Structure formats: structure tokens, C-alpha cells
């Protein structure tokens, strides 16, 4: 699969997820075979203000490439300016968030609220494409409300404005993450545009990834919630799509080793205080469904250092 001049190793992509798809997690997903990984969304305005908490979100590494860096905002001048400002960083694709449902973002006219402003979609994509050489992509929802489903219109506008691909999450903003994703809207977008279409929403197994590709004709699949605490899903989906035997689920030893390595990566990038806190949710995801996982989670939440964590996991997981 190709997006602009960027060739992906395969068509299985890690979704951008705030608070999840940071550099350590992206590296683990890449290792498990993800064809491309996406950063958490980054506010263009916050970059302009040199916000202290925002700049670390822009960190990308050679090892994870190809990587897509996602910006959000609503002002075409600020977004395009910031895209140009960061372009020399080693990311491959600049993605524009047009799907975020949270009130702090959508209430501000950003993220999914852009689905209501085709004029702004056009201006944001057009200006950004004119300012950078790297491919620009957009990530959209099916629409804002059930009565205003307009992914096809928005995708066509993005394409005409120069976007190199479009990712479609088959839910409206109104739906947030509830109900079932509508894959038919992905099919409709695929039929309406020539640029690659990435399908997204409810892929949680090798079989569902294949079903999405078959039912919608989309070029790639983007996986979000199902890979939290489960980067191995990438190797499974990739093998299945290539017609190879699907690797076994990871052993407990592999899960344990990955949790610890994930923690070491967090500490390397964020320091012990923040890194250990970041790991609490990841460990809850890694261990969900195992016996005593609730008790283990409580114990982990009280742990402050890597050594304590290591001991606890060896004893209790
Ligand atoms: C915790 C969380 C954070 C997310 N953050 C982002 C984000 O920063 N940018 C974005 O475009 N989508 C974001 N999403 C949406 C996902 O990229 C994806 O569209 C959605 O989860 C549907 O895919 P899934 O069913 O595979 O999870 C987020 C989703 C979750 C659950």
C-alpha cells in the first residue's frame, strides 16, 4: 500500500490514540508488524505556543517509520504554518484530525466539528498541502450526527484539496464509541474517491480485519482499542491477511516480558515518575481477563518504581 510517495510494508495500521499511541507503544506495535503507526493527536495551536506538555508528543524515531503524525486544530493558517514548522522531523505523513468527539476539542470547532464545515476542510487541507512536501492525509468520522452523515462529501473535498489518503471511522460524533461502526460508509467513500481509503472501527481480530477489507474494498485497516495491551494483534492480522498460519496468542511469559519492556521504554522517554503512572493503564489492559487482574491492578496503582513493579509482576502475574 502506498500513501503519496510513502510505501507501507502492509495495510494494517495502528490508529492514533491520545494517551495510548505514544512513542513506546508505537515501537512495540511496529515490532509486531504494524505497517504504519500514528502518533497521538497534537494541537497545532499548542505547538505555536511552545506548550511544554505538547512538544514531547512530537517525538518520533527512525525505528518506527513509516509513522504518521497527527495535528488537530481549526485554523488553516495555524495548522499549515505548524505543519511547515515541524516538517523536518522524521515523520512520513502529516495527518489531520477531523474525528475527535471530545467536547474540549469538538466544542472548539476542532476535530469532528470540522465535519460540519466543508469550507474549512477544504481550506485546511489545501493550505497544508501547499506548505509541505510530505503527504497530507485526513481522518474523519461518518458524520457529525446520524442526520448529517457526510463522509463521502468530506472525503471528496479532502481529495480535491490534495489529500493523499483518507481514514474513515464508521461512527458519527454523536455516537462517540458506542454502537457498531457502520462499515457501509467506508465502502461508499472507497467508491467515491481515488486516493487510498483506510477503514476504521471495530476491527478486533484477524477475521474482522479481512471482513472489513472484503466488505468495503478499503485499501488498509486501522486498529485502535483492540490493540491496547495487545500489540500481538498486529502479527496475527498480518499473517492472516498474507494467508500464513496465525501465530499463537502470546504466552504469559511473553506478556510479562513485554509489560516490563514497555515500562522500560516509558521510563526512557518519560522518566520514572510519569512513566510508571502511564504504565498503570497499559498493565490493566495487558492483564485484563487473567485471574485476579482487578487485585493486581490495585497493587500496581500503588507502585512507584520499576524494581517494585518487576517484583510484583513476577510474584503475582
Ligand atoms: C483512548 C482513545 C484515544 C483516541 N485518540 C485519538 C486521536 O488522538 N486521534 C484520532 O484521530 N482518533 C483518536 N481515537 C479514535 C481512534 O483512532 C479510532 O478511530 C477509534 O477508536 C475507532 O477504532 P477502533 O474501533 O479500532 O478502536 C482515539 C480512541 C481512543 C479509544
pLDDT value for 132: 98
- With contact defined as beta carbons under 8 Å apart, do 241 and 56 qualify? no
- With contact defined as beta carbons under 8 Å apart, do 200 and 171 qualify? no
pLDDT value for 37: 98
For residue 192 and ligand 1, the question of a CB distance below 6 A is answered with no
116 DSSP β-pair partners: none
pLDDT value for 11: 98
Strand order in the sheet with 165-172: 12-14, 220-223, 197-200, 165-172, 136-143, 93-98, 67-72, 37-43
Q: How far is the CA of 228 from the centre of ligand 1 (A)?
A: 11
pLDDT value for 137: 99
pLDDT value for 97: 98
For residue 40 and ligand 1, the question of a CB distance below 6 A is answered with yes
The DSSP H or E segment spanning 206 is helix 206-216
Q: How far is the CA of 49 from the centre of ligand 1 (A)?
A: 25
pLDDT value for 263: 98
Mutate-to-test residue for ligand 1 from 12, 13, 14, 18, highest number of ligand atoms within 8 A of CB: 18
- With contact defined as beta carbons under 8 Å apart, do 167 and 222 qualify? yes
15 alpha carbon, distance to own chain's centre: 2
pLDDT value for 12: 98
Residue 215: name the closest of 192, 188, 239, 196 by CA. 188
pLDDT value for 258: 98
- With contact defined as beta carbons under 8 Å apart, do 167 and 16 qualify? no
Q: 21: Cβ–Cβ under 8 A, 6 or more apart, which residues?
A: 14, 15, 29, 37, 38, 39, 40
For residue 99 and ligand 1, the question of a CB distance below 6 A is answered with yes
- With contact defined as beta carbons under 8 Å apart, do 64 and 35 qualify? no
For residue 171 and ligand 1, the question of a CB distance below 6 A is answered with no
Q: How far is the CA of 177 from the centre of ligand 1 (A)?
A: 9
For residue 12 and ligand 1, the question of a CB distance below 6 A is answered with no
Q: Whose CA is nearest to atom 30 of ligand 1?
A: 17
Mutate-to-test residue for ligand 1 from 225, 284, 285, highest number of ligand atoms within 8 A of CB: 225
**List of the chain residues with pLDDT < 70:** none
Q: Is 0.95 topped by the overall pTM? A: yes
Q: Whose CA is nearest to atom 14 of ligand 1?
A: 17
141 DSSP β-pair partners: 169
Q: Which atom of ligand 1 is nearest to the CA of 204?
A: 26
Which phi and psi (to 5°) does residue 17 adopt? -140, 115
Residues with catalytic annotation?
100
Which burial class, exposed, middle or buried, applies to 83 when counting CB atoms under 10 A from its CB (0-12, 13-18, 19+)? buried
In the numeric block, the cell 450526527 is attached to: 145
For residue 225 and ligand 1, the question of a CB distance below 6 A is answered with yes
Amino acid at each position: 500500500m502506498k500513501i503519496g510517495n510513502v510505501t507501507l510494508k502492509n495495510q494494517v495500521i495502528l490508529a492514533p490514540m491520545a494517551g495510548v499511541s505514544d512513542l513506546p507503544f508505537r515501537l512495540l506495535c511496529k515490532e509486531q508488524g504494524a505497517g504504519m503507526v500514528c502518533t497521538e493527536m497534537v494541537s497545532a495551536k499548542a505547538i505555536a505556543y511552545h506548550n511544554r506538555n505538547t512538544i514531547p508528543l512530537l517525538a518520533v524515531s527512525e525505528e518506527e517509520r513509516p509513522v504518521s503524525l497527527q495535528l488537530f486544530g481549526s485554523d488553516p493558517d495555524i495548522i499549515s504554518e505548524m505543519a511547515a514548522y515541524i516538517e523536518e522531523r522524521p515523520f512520513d505523513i502529516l495527518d489531520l484530525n477531523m474525528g475527535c468527539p471530545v467536547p474540549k476539542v469538538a466544542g472548539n470547532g476542532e476535530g469532528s466539528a470540522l465535519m460540519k464545515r466543508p469550507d474549512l476542510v477544504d481550506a485546511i487541507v489545501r493550505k497544508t498541502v501547499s506548505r509541505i512536501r510530505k503527504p497530507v492525509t485526513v481522518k474523519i468520522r461518518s458524520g457529525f450526527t446520524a442526520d448529517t452523515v457526510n463522509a463521502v462529501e468530506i472525503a471528496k473535498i479532502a481529495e480535491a484539496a490534495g489529500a493523499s489518503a483518507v481514514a474513515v471511522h464508521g461512527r458519527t460524533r454523536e455516537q462517540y464509541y458506542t454502537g457498531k461502526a457502520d462499515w457501509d460508509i467506508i465502502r461508499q467513500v472507497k467508491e467515491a474517491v481515488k486516493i487510498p481509503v483506510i477503514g476504521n472501527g471495530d476491527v478486533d481480530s484477524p477475521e474482522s480485519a479481512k471482513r472489513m477489507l472484503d466488505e468495503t474494498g478499503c485499501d488498509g485497516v486501522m486498529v485502535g482499542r483492540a490493540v491496547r495491551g495487545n500489540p500481538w494483534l498486529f502479527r496475527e492480522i498480518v499473517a492472516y491477511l498474507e494467508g500464513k498460519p496465525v501465530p499463537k496468542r502470546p504466552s504469559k511469559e511473553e506478556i510479562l516480558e513485554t509489560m516490563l519492556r514497555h515500562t522500560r521504554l516509558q521510563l526512557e522517554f518519560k522518566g520514572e515518575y510519569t512513566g510508571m503512572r502511564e504504565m498503570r493503564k497499559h498493565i490493566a489492559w495487558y492483564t485484563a481477563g487473567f485471574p485476579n487482574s482487578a487485585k493486581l491492578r490495585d497493587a500496581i496503582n500503588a507502585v512507584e518504581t520499576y524494581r517494585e513493579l518487576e517484583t510484583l509482576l513476577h510474584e503475582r502475574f
